[in-house]
Structure 1
Amino acid sequence: MEPKPPLPSLSSPRPTDRIGRTLPREPLVAIATALGLGILLGWSLPLAPLPLAVAGTVAAIGGSLFRGRAAAWSALAAWLIVGAVRWELAAGPPAPSDISSLFPAAADSPVELEGTIASAPEFHDPPDSAPAWQRIVRSRFDLDVTAVVATRPTPATGRVAVTVDGHVLGLEPGDPVRLVGRLSTPSPPMNPGDFDFPAYLAGREIRRIVRSDHPDAVIRREGPSDWRYGVARLRARLRAHALALLRDVLSPEDAALAGSLLLGDRTGMTDEVEDEFAASGTMHILAISGQHVVIFLMLVGIVLRGFNVSPGRMAWLLLAAVALYLYLTDQRPPVVRAALLTAFVLSGLRWGRIAPGLNALAATAIVLLLANPHHLFDIGAQLSFLAVAALVAMARLRSTLRAERVDGPDLSPDPTWWRKAAEWFLAQTWTLLLLTAAVFVFTLPIQLATFHIAAPIGFGANVLLAPLVVVILGTGYALLGVGLLAPWLAPPLAALFSAALWLFHAIIQGAANTPWGHFDSPGPPVWWTAVYYVLLLGGLFFARGRMRVWAAHSVAVWVIVGLLPGLFADQEPALRCTFVSVGHGGGILVEAPNGRTLLYDAGAMTAGDAAARSIRNQLWRHGRQRIDAVILSHADADHFNALPRLLDSVPVGTVFVSRAFCDLSQPSVAALLDQIAAAGVPIRLLSQGDQLQVDPILKVAVLHPPAEGQDPLDNANSLVLEILFRGKRLLLTGDLEESGLLRLLAQRPRVCDLLLAPHHGSRTCNTPDLARWATPRVVVVSAGRGDRIDHLRQVYPHAEPILSTGEAGCITVSFPADGAMQVDSWLKPAPRPSPGRNTLPAPSGMSQSR
């Protein structure tokens, strides 16, 4: 009887490819995958750490007892459990003394804290779209809490993120302080697709935030600084000196750009410049990334070779340079990934312990995830690892193609030097294009899902900028080094650096302004993205022979599936009204049964750009690509300051305003009308009695204001819309108040199913007279956080539910074809609407309101 062949295991002979070359053994890839899946398991399911630890121990013991596949699978199961346990330890309940345990449901609670400054205060300028009264520089830093002060200090622990209106000066990491402010829990995403601020803070082990309205609220206490913060203190001083040097020798615009390129400090960057980098496909250059680390090490290596440093010492010095670079920059996951990967590769080249490529990348992922499992969900870390995986894949593919190519004898005469130079230049350009294309293919789905922008112009821009970036970083680092050690030598280097920076920015601006160079787009669904990466990564790294060809075909087919028009659009023939949560402002998206869209107001009390992103995301979430009509209720900025950003990212058909809106004496209104005209969007006037033709079975009528007799108050001139659909009535009221409200109530009553509470639920506008006039079944308030619901329940006793976007998040009210009404909210389940009447008889066509 012949013996059975041995089962393959981690110690089996290494496989070969179809031309006989030995394939690299990469066991760490499987371990990193198991660790990541374990973290996902812990994130998605409530698991107890102790049973998990016991199961992991059993799996590890089993791995040591078995051989072959059983040992491999036992080891992977152990790493899977390690990932789940690590997540539970990082995201589990805090200690009883933690500030989040002492204030479990903090909601803007006054508090006085004692603690130690954990990070140097950074000064952030307000967004460009912020209203004038909110253009305040804010200081931000982290505080390690030591005590909560009431009648006497009570010991406490934990870290909080602090924001102070104004400049907090003279504080460094390690300084003991006393702080007065308002403590709160970070707000969750208020709309689908919004930035998850609590998750971002959780990655920094922060569960609470504190806001103070004046720098005097932060007082340094007596006593020496904590020595345990000495390393962070020195880092803060070095960065402060470096940024001060850049401000002294460069223009303000160049200093802000240089601070981001060289040190990862983006506090001085304007929204306009960041938009240019995003539109040109070069955002990775603006943020410290692996490219910066590689160029920095290349420059250091050139200097070391100039001093004839031996290879052994050079490896050690390059490792020290990596550590220094990581220490001085922002230490975000992409930078840490690049530094660790570089360290592993250098170690492998020096001692032969670990192979470059996927194994080194997997080792980097294991270290990062064990240190902080939240990195698995960090977009920067995801894009960084995918970019490196793309480079590894291209290197392997080129190596395979080169090995398979059989060249005959070269009988051509020796080329001239200029031909050699031209061939070398073309080869390098072609390589850069291929690498850029590979990174683009690997990262595009996540970029679209997160940032909703794609920039094909980046192919050419990155090739043009590649040598220039080396020059800029080289002169920039030389400027910092020389300027800190010998300031009198800095001006010549600063002149060279400024000239290179000018050319760099000019290329960025040209690429950003190239027609069709970039486009905004909705992101693909999660399920499509997951299948895409399984096919792409599996085909490139694990498929062999013809399987790789089949994988390539599968990826192409899957991309076509994702591009099929209407695949992700909601085709339900219903009327949907979505109240986007924008804080104190307005953004009501109305989707007609035929797919046309109407946006009622677009603005927020704070910066309008965030409101524009939230509105755009809701539009794309339902598969809509354009806004057919924008109706601005009145000339308050919190109802229109999101429109300029929307005009840049979403096609808009027509903008409708009232005659009172066009008050050119208001600079913000005049600027908005100019921006609408520059975008080529027509502006039309509306007044009482007008109707909009949106859908044959939908009637949109204007109830207010009248064409003549404008009120001196903007709010009183608010456009009020009545929407009728299959016997249902919706009323959108803007900020209607005082004389405007009285004029509306003088009309015949409009018993409605859905009412937008006027003026964000204000007591003076939501009166018993309005409640009797409208008798709404559902009332929605578009406002920030604040308890106005109790008052509205007294005013509208028959309404159920009464919801606020500041508490419930995005609210969607749907009216299917069967005449039912469904209310959904993003943050918490909404009560079912009270069984009520049809406010209108179901019309056969477009009937008049009764």
Structure 2
Amino acid sequence: AIWFFILCTFALYTGSRAYAPDPQSIRARAGEKGGTARFEGILVELPAERVWSNGKKALEAEFRVARIESESGWEPCPGKVLMRIDPAPEIIPVVGDLLRVGGYLTLPEGPKNPGEFDRRKHLRSQGLDYLFRVHPADLENTGRRESAWLERLAAGLRAHMLRATSLGLEKDPEAAGLIAGMLFGYRDGVGQDLREAFRNTGTLHLFAVSGQNLAVVAGMLLWILAVTGAVRWRWAWMTLPAVFIFCLATGMQASAARAFVMTSVLYVGWVIGRPMDAANWLGASLLALLIWDPLQVGDAGFQLSFLVVAGLMVFSASWQKKIVDWGRADPWIPRRLVAPWRRGWTKIWLIVATAVASSAAAWTGSLIPGLFLFHQIIPVALAANVVAAPMAAGVTVLAAISSLVAPFFSVGSVGLNLVNARLVHFLAAALGWMATWPGGHFSMADPRAWFDHGPWVKVLAVEGSAPTLISGVGGKWLLEPGSTKGWGNSLRPFLNWHGIQGLDGVGLMAGTAERMAGAMDLMEGWRIGWWAETGLGGKSGALKSWRGEMEKSRIGRRFWRVSDQVRLGEDWTGEILWPPAGDGGQAEENGIVLRLSCGEARLLWAGAISGAVERELVLAHGDELRADILIQGPSKSMEANLSRAWLEMVRPKTIVRWERGLEDDSSLSVDFADLTWLEGVEVLKLKETGCLTLRPDPEKGIWRLHSWTGR
């Protein structure tokens, strides 16, 4: 009760700080709107590279602002922003450089779909209220600032660890990325497929710097201290600066900050000769972190880290004792009479019991945040962590030694990295296999989805596609899985948010990678009733791979062509209007056009058809195209669609439009805006509205629309 009161107090304090910032700060000046600005400040972390869908690159880094340029000159303006330099400059600034940059200040995007990661909330918990978009031409590097020596030291250590752990692994970037991720939380080198395997086995925490990482670093430092003859309890505190710099090099994640504070409290206990109670140890660390940065209260990583450690402290010791008792020899038998093999087995059983009890306790601690934050329960994590945690500890130890010896013994570092590569590949293969276990992970619906009854259609806001979930009596069906990136960032969290374990049917509405590559991920671990596609095209590598997997697994498919009737449960009926039977050419890009009906309510799902296909559909179907809702995105070739003849025949009341990457939508011209205004047509851009929920009235033939973002 005391700690709950303290948490509530700091939550209120955090809110007061958010609503009453320093009058000179960026937040007080920019408010919720942002705008153009010119800042002077220091780069405080290594820039991370971002690659857009069109292949162009940008850089993102944390930028600590000191001053802002105004009409009267430079004025104090403290704050931090996430600076994005787009496109990436030829000469990359380094940590500690004093920069003068001009750009546009905007709020980070919030979640556009249910279940999506709230990046805005996460960045705010890190003290980053804004995204600052900068062009390289507006960046002026005035040189190194000597006062930023600590940031440069941490960045140098991070760069050194990245280089050291990749020595000898130039041809194996996957292994190098996994090793760096387990040592200091570097995730950019871990591919999407591997992340899915770690996520589905509840072992993604291995890439978060925590007590295990700090135990390795602190243990090495204490060993070096012991070699000098120093007494641990008296001189251990001398290693804290090095541990702190390591934490800074990792980005000072919530779990790293918690582990550092707990290490500091432990060392203080050694110095003053006081035993450390587990609850007081964790509580003191929690209080210290909240005093240091109360914004951490709202960070999911902060909450998860403390709950997992609390689970370990509360349950692991008692559970370990019970498990050890199951494999222990009869205590009434004298030890000299116990067979040698039995004594050896007792030692092995103690190790197994410790691993099992720790895994179960950590899983129990993560259960509540897993339900409410990630909408998942992962039973396979109980077994996966028994395997993964000891192996990850071994990888971390070898990686730390490799980083330590690399400057003066590179051959030894290469040898350690090669051994580590074998370990991480074995670990990845084992977790990939565990991720496919039936019932290994399943979704739990958000409370807001419990009462989401009745027929409805939800269109997700995803770049380059419009994954559409249809619900009604008899099941749930998905049109268009979208890209691999869209699957990981939006569609999978969306399905978890609804508590969906499987789908009664999936329609691949086009063959291009940005609209169907997510089908490969959907095949793994999700129950699918049936699959449907056109059966045409075949140039797309993603489509070929998916068809190959389907044939290998001997899974049947439905082929949708013009005039085919589709029945989706009791509420929904559909008719395929495109492609024609035997059609080839651009069918892979144009995809499927489906008219969906729920009683008198009609919806036309037109994908990304071109203007030429619109003309053919108008000639072939005429008034049959009529629908109150038209879902249609820009064509692959960026040829203008949504022609006047097409709109006059469909006569939509609402047009739902998705975006295609960074390209301009040529169809949304001034003439188009005039036409829709005259006809009373509402144009909803998913980029602005977020996920749209469409609820039909089968008797009246009308639709009720609801936007996830409230716009």
Output the TM-score relative to the length of structure 1.
Answer: 0.73
Query: In structure 1, what is the Cα distance between the partners aligned to 2:598 and 2:427?
Result: 52
SS in 2 for 1:195: coil
> Are 1:507 and 2:427 counterparts?
yes
Work out whether residues 301 and 314 of structure 1, in 8 Å CA contact, stay in contact via their aligned partners in 2: no
Q: Distance in 1 between matches of 2:507 and 2:498?
A: 20
Q: Which amino acid aligns with 1:389?
A: A
Change (3 A) 1:471 1:314: farther
**Residue deviations 1:717-769, cap 9 Å, x none?**
44221112221111111122322111222223143222224538999422332
Matched, 1:740 2:662: no
Matches of 1:710 and 1:255, distance apart in 2: 44
Q: CA deviation at 1:657?
A: 2.5
Taking a change above 3 Å as real, the CA distance of residues 450 and 579 of structure 1, as seen in their structure-2 partners, is same
CA deviations on 1:384-404 (whole Å, 9 max, x unpaired) are 1122111211256369989x9
Q: Determine if contact 1:511/1:517 at 8 Å carries over to the other structure.
A: no
TM-aligned CA distance change 1:822 to 1:701, over 3 Å? same
Q: Report what 1:751 is aligned to.
A: 626
Matched, 1:724 2:606: no
State the AA in 2 paired with 1:243: L
Give the CA deviation at 1:102.
4.1
Q: Which moved more, 1:299-308 or 1:689-698?
A: 299-308
Whether the 8 Å CA contact 1:579–1:782 is kept in 2: the answer is no
Give the AA of the match of 1:691. Answer: Q
- Residue 494 of structure 1 is matched in structure 2 by 414
SS class of match (2:645):
helix
Q: Is 1:225 equivalent to 2:144 in the alignment?
A: yes
Shift of 1:358: 1.2
- For residue 362 of structure 2, what is the aligned residue in structure 1? 439
Q: Deviations over 1:745-795 (max 9, x none)?
A: 222314322222453899942233233212223332223798959844732
> Closer, same or farther in 2 for the Cα pair 1:433/1:395, shift >3 Å?
closer
2:154 aligned residue (217, 235, 240): 235
1:355 alignment partner in structure 2 = 276
* C-alpha spacing 1:569/1:166, structure 2 compared with 1 (3 Å): same
- Secondary structure of the 2:113 match is coil
Paired residue secondary structure (1:360):
helix
Match of 2:119 in 1: 197
Q: Which amino acid aligns with 1:444?
A: L
- Native 8 Å contact 2:512 2:540 kept in 1: no
Structure 1 match to 2:292: 371
- Partner of 2:594, secondary structure, is strand
| In 2, Cα distance between equivalents of 1:732 and 1:348 | 66
**More divergent stretch after superposition (683-692 vs 630-639):** 630-639
Larger radius of gyration: 1
Partner Cα distance (2:552, 2:133) in 1: 39
Once the two structures are TM-superposed, the CA of residue 349 in structure 1 deviates from its matched residue by: 4.1
1:55 equivalent in structure 2: none
Counterpart residue type for residue 557 of structure 2: I
Partners of 1:434 and 1:466 in 2: CA distance: 12
Please point out which of 108, 113, 125 is paired with 2:38: 113
Say whether 1:614 aligns with 2:490: yes
Alpha-carbon distance in structure 2 between the residues aligned to 1:411 and 1:708 = 84
Structure 1 counterpart of 2:695: 814
What's the CA shift for 1:824? 0.8
Q: Report matched runs for 1:284-363 at 5 Å.
A: 284-320=205-241, 322-351=243-272, 355-363=276-284
Distance between the aligned counterparts of 1:827 and 1:466, measured in 2?
A: 39
Cα pair 2:405 2:412 within 8 Å, conserved: no
Partner of 2:708: 826
Q: Tell me, which stretches of 5 or more residues in structure 1 are unaligned?
A: 1-29, 41-83, 528-567, 830-850
The residue number in structure 2 matching 1:650 is: 526
Residue aligning to 2:60: 140
Of stretches 184-193 and 286-295 in structure 1, the one that deviates more from structure 2 is: 286-295
Superposed CA offset, 1:62-96 (max 9, x none): xxxxxxxxxxxxxxxxxxxxxx1343114545635
User: Structure 1 residues 741 and 444, CA, compared in 2 at 3 Å: closer, same or farther?
Assistant: same
Distance change (3 Å), C-alpha of 1:469 and 1:308? farther
Q: Name the SS for the 1:589 alignment partner.
A: strand
Asked if structure 2 preserves the Cα contact closer than 8 Å seen for 1:688 and 1:704, the reply is: yes
CA contact (8 A) 1:472 1:497 kept: no
Residue 132 of structure 2 aligns to a residue in which SS? strand
> Does residue 36 of structure 1 match 2:7?
yes
- Structure 1 pair 308–615 and aligned structure 2 pair: CA distance change class (3 A): same
Summarize the Cα distance change of 1:457–1:754 in structure 2 as closer, same or farther, 3 Å threshold: closer
Identity among equivalent positions (%) equals 20
Counterpart of 1:694?
Answer: 568
In structure 1, distance between residues paired with 2:469 and 2:208: 35
Alpha-carbon distance in structure 2 between the residues aligned to 1:699 and 1:434: 52
Contact 1:290 / 1:338 at 8 angstroms: preserved in 2? Answer: yes
Q: Which residue of 2 aligns with 1:804?
A: 685
How many angstroms apart in 1 are the aligned matches of 2:277 and 2:527? 47
Post-superposition offset of 1:701 = 0.6
Q: Out of 82, 85, 98, which is 2:13 matched to?
A: 85
Q: Counterparts in 2 of 1:704-723, with a 5 A limit?
A: 704-710=578-584, 712=586, 717-723=590-596
Q: 1:684 to 1:796 in 2, by over 3 A?
A: farther
Give the deviation of 1:362 after TM superposition: 1.1
Distance in 2 (alpha carbons) for counterparts of 1:524 and 1:373: 30
Structure 2 counterpart of 1:583? 463
Q: Deviations over 1:442-479 (max 9, x none)?
A: 21342355445655444444444555444433333222
2:106 corresponds to which residue? Answer: 184
Q: CA deviation at 1:190?
A: 0.5
Q: Distance in 2 between matches of 1:595 and 1:293?
A: 52
Which amino acid is 1:578 matched to?
K
Aligned residue-pair number: 693
Superposition TM-score, scaled by structure 2 size: 0.86
Q: Give the partner amino acid of 2:463.
A: G
- Could you tell me whether the CA contact under 8 Å between 1:658 and 1:685 is conserved in 2? yes
Task: Name the counterpart of 1:160.
Answer: 81
Shift of 1:201: 1.5
Counterpart in 2 of 1:594?
Answer: 473
Distance 1:771 1:475, change over 3 A: closer
The Cα shift of 1:675 comes to 4.1
Gap change, CA 1:737 and 1:462, over 3 Å in 2: closer
- 1:781-837 deviations in Å (ceiling 9; x for gaps): 2237989598447326454654221111111011256646321111115xxxxxxxx
1:599 is paired with a residue of what secondary structure?
strand
* Pairwise CA distance, 1:511: 3.3
Say if 1:446 and 1:570 are closer, same or farther in 2 by CA, change over 3 A.
same
Q: Which moved more, 1:336-345 or 1:168-177?
A: 168-177
> CA contact under 8 A between 1:598 and 1:628: conserved in structure 2?
yes
Which protein has the bigger strand share?
2
Alignment partners' CA distance in 2, 1:518 and 1:337? 33
Give the match's secondary structure for 1:143: strand
Q: Would you say the 8 A contact 2:62–2:82 is kept in 1?
A: yes
What residue is the counterpart of 1:522 in the other structure?
Answer: 443
List per-residue Cα deviations over 1:129-149 (Å, max 9, x = no partner): x75x32x45422122345566
Partner of 2:177: 256
Aligned mates of 1:709, 1:507 — CA distance in 2: 47
Change (3 A) 1:723 1:472: closer
Q: Is 1:244 matched up with 2:163?
A: yes
Shift of 1:627: 2.4
Change over 3 Å in CA distance of 1:102–1:316 after alignment to 2: closer
- 1:429 maps to 352
How has the CA–CA distance of structure 1 residues 398 and 711 changed in structure 2, closer, same or farther, with 3 Å as cutoff? Answer: closer
CA RMSD of aligned residues (A): 3.6
Report the Cα distance in structure 2 between the residues aligned to 1:291 and 1:312, rounded to whole angstroms.
21
Q: Which whole-Å CA distance do the structure 2 matches of 1:37 and 1:112 have between them?
A: 36
Letter in 2 for 1:575: P
Change (3 A) 1:621 1:381: closer
